[in-house]
């Protein structure tokens, strides 16, 4: 059965291939997003290992467009602490440009750093910070 999708998006954070944070809008499609994100992890790992061997001094944190499917575009970003951020946006949302995605990842990184510095957060746990949720919500509203 074809479902009718209004523009949607998702944000997932991974540490060593297990998720620290998953958020998608609208929430009914979470399962599909989970699947897509797990496959995109392989692409992220591929890009990271390619970076290590590259002769070009390409050591940026932003990985760019990982792969476009017909419905979605998947973007990746990896921090120095090996936390991988994956963002999935609807392909119909053509208004999003590369530098906007970059700035969103930067915001995510800054908020994640704040989560790390929170004394009530144990590194490796799932992120339950409301402040972080709020930041992601406002970002997704911008996108959708």
Interface residues toward other proteins, by CB under 8 A: 51-52, 59-61, 78-82, 109-110, 112-113, 116-117, 123
Q: For the chain, how big is the Rg over CA atoms in Å?
A: 15
Give the integer Cα–Cα distance in Å for 10 and 29. Answer: 10
Q: What six digits make up the tokens of 93? A: 């949302």
Q: Are 107 and 136 in contact (CB under 8 A)?
A: no
The CB-of-103 to other proteins minimum distance in angstroms stands at 14
From residue 80, give the alpha-carbon distance in Å to each of 13, 60, 62.
Answer: 14, 10, 11
**Whose Cβ is closer to other proteins: residue 51's or residue 96's?**
51
**Whose Cβ is closer to other proteins: residue 85's or residue 112's?**
112
The CB-of-66 to other proteins minimum distance in angstroms stands at 16
The CB-of-115 to other proteins minimum distance in angstroms stands at 9
**Whose Cβ is closer to other proteins: residue 8's or residue 111's?**
111
């Amino acid at each position: 059965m074809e479902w009718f999708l209004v523009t949607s998006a998702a944000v997932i954070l991974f540490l060593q291939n297990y998720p620290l944070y998953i958020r998608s809008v609208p929430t009914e499609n979470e399962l599909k997003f989970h699947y897509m994100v797990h496959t995109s992890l392989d692409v992220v790992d591929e890009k990271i290992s390619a970076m290590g061997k590259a002769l070009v001094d390409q050591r940026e944190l932003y990985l760019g467009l990982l792969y476009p499917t017909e419905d979605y575009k998947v973007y990746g970003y990896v921090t120095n602490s090996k936390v991988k951020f994956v963002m999935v946006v609807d392909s119909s949302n053509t208004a999003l440009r590369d530098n906007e995605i970059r700035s969103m990842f930067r915001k995510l990184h800054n908020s994640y750093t704040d989560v790390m510095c929170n004394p009530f957060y144990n590194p490796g746990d799932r992120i339950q910070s409301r402040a972080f949720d709020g930041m992601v919500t406002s970002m997704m509203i911008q996108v959708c």
